[in-house]
Amino acid sequence: MDRYPVISADCHAGADLLDYRDYLDPRYREEFDGWAETYVNPFADLTDPDAERNWNSDRRNGELDREGIAGEVIYPNTVPPFFPHGSLAAPPPQTPRELELRWAGLRAHNRWLADFCSLSPDRRAGVGQILLGDLDEAVAEVAHIAKLGLRGGMLLPGVVPGTGIPPLYAEHWEPLWAACEEAGVVVNHHGGSAGPSPTDGWDSSFAVWVYETHWWAHRALWHLILSGALDRHPDLTVVFTEQGAGWIPATLTSLDVATVRYGRPNSAIARFAGPTAGSLTLKPSEYWNRQCYVGASFLRPVECAERHDIGVDRIMWGSDYPHLEGTAPYTREALRHTFSDVPTDEVAAMVGGTAAAVYGFDLEALAPLVDRIGPTVAEVAETLPAVPADASSTAFEADPIRAW
């Protein structure tokens, strides 16, 4: 192998707001016109000229070519119809009508995304969206996501406490897990969507939110394990994206210890924990190794050093294009920064091979593109002498413990 087939397991895209109109069910279009006329987008990066990177297919491919990225898993980014802001962290709808309209908006996004992926079918795997306010609708949309050919799978929203939606460990969600397993739809859980919004007005609100946001997303791992969902559905694949990677080894060790205690006969803790966790057929770390992956944006060197404890075959590197904290325009430098001293076979797995297997990328079909744009093995193996002075990506952050 001369060049690495690089597949970013974490990119973002979406339509320009008014372009969603034709993808809406016709009965919602007139209401959309009125809503869109007064809507003010709160995100500066979605109102400047570079926002077109979300929907301009040719520009997007050109920029990814320069970065050496042959394939991408596409999460949402722009604002869908009838949402107050981006769907990942939007507050829950307050009325049945609001829920209905948001469903219409997400379905429009999923249809748009299928068309967008069809423009470059070999290099794009779109992640469809659902809502959790109506289980039957969610199950139906999983089938629709599969029918649309969105091989990136389904984006599982987080459940914010106090919203009245059952937590992810509730038996309520059993039909959803079964539907995803049966359809072969990957379940993706992205950081930033599971915790309370920083809207209480205190000066420290956003700092606390930034610190806690990954932890809220991590909870889905132990919810799905301790509820027995992964035990009952061994063919269900779950990916935890853009929420770090260094947390995984300690969390798996903690879960392994906990479930041993829960299964010990006659122990007091087992009586408190209840029967489900104590009856698991595998250790939590074994469920991880069988069914779970991390979409590791951006896998800093300090996290890469833990790759064997995480599982080299569980890690999928991500660039987070087109976000400010993403690796562009220094993706090639970011790859050198993290992987220069890592064996070639391990690099190949983490930067593309595993993502190709999880999301169904055809590496043979991508080979001509990789031959043209892919980073060479020699290039990635060359130590980066210095971080680019204007690099804004957290991929280049130093080991925070040593810095402290």
Q: What is the pLDDT of residue 400?
A: 62
What mean pLDDT value characterizes the chain?
A: 94
Q: Which residues contact residue 361 at a Cβ distance below 8 angstroms, ignoring those fewer than 6 apart?
A: 7, 71, 122, 123, 125, 352, 355
Interval 129-151 mean pLDDT? 97
Reported as a single tens digit per residue, the pLDDT across 164-191 is: 899 999 999 999 999 999 999 999 999 9
Contact 77, 12 (CB under 8 A): yes
Q: Which residue has the tokens 């050093």?
A: 305
Contact 355, 308 (CB under 8 A): no
CA-wise closest residue to 257 among 309, 289, 222 = 222
CA-wise closest residue to 101 among 193, 32, 23 = 32
- Residue 134 pLDDT greater than 90, yes or no: yes
Take residue 83 and report the two structure tokens written for it. 């949402």
- Residue 281 pLDDT greater than 80, yes or no: yes
Q: What is the pLDDT of residue 273?
A: 77
Interval 285-313 mean pLDDT? 97
User: Which helix (H) or strand (E) is 126 found in, with range?
Assistant: strand 124-129
- Residue 274 pLDDT greater than 90, yes or no: no
Q: What is the pLDDT of residue 404?
A: 46
Q: What is the pLDDT of residue 112?
A: 98
pTM (2 d.p.): 0.95
Reported as a single tens digit per residue, the pLDDT across 382-401 is: 999 999 999 989 899 876 65
- Residue 335 pLDDT greater than 70, yes or no: yes
Q: What is the pLDDT of residue 215?
A: 95
Interval 68-82 mean pLDDT? 97
Q: What is the pLDDT of residue 86?
A: 81
Could you give all domains of the chain from N- to C-terminal order, each with its CATH number?
7-403 (3.20.20.140)
Take residue 245 and report the two structure tokens written for it. 């990677």
**Apex 297 CA angle, 160 and 49, nearest 5:** 90
- Residue 154 pLDDT greater than 80, yes or no: yes
Q: What is the pLDDT of residue 272?
A: 78
Task: Tell me which of 117 and 392 has the higher pLDDT.
Answer: 117
Task: Tell me which of 196 and 357 has the higher pLDDT.
Answer: 357
Indicate the pLDDT class of residue 290, thresholds 50, 70 and 90: very high
Reported as a single tens digit per residue, the pLDDT across 24-61 is: 999 999 999 999 999 988 888 888 899 999 999 999 99
Q: What is the pLDDT of residue 402?
A: 54
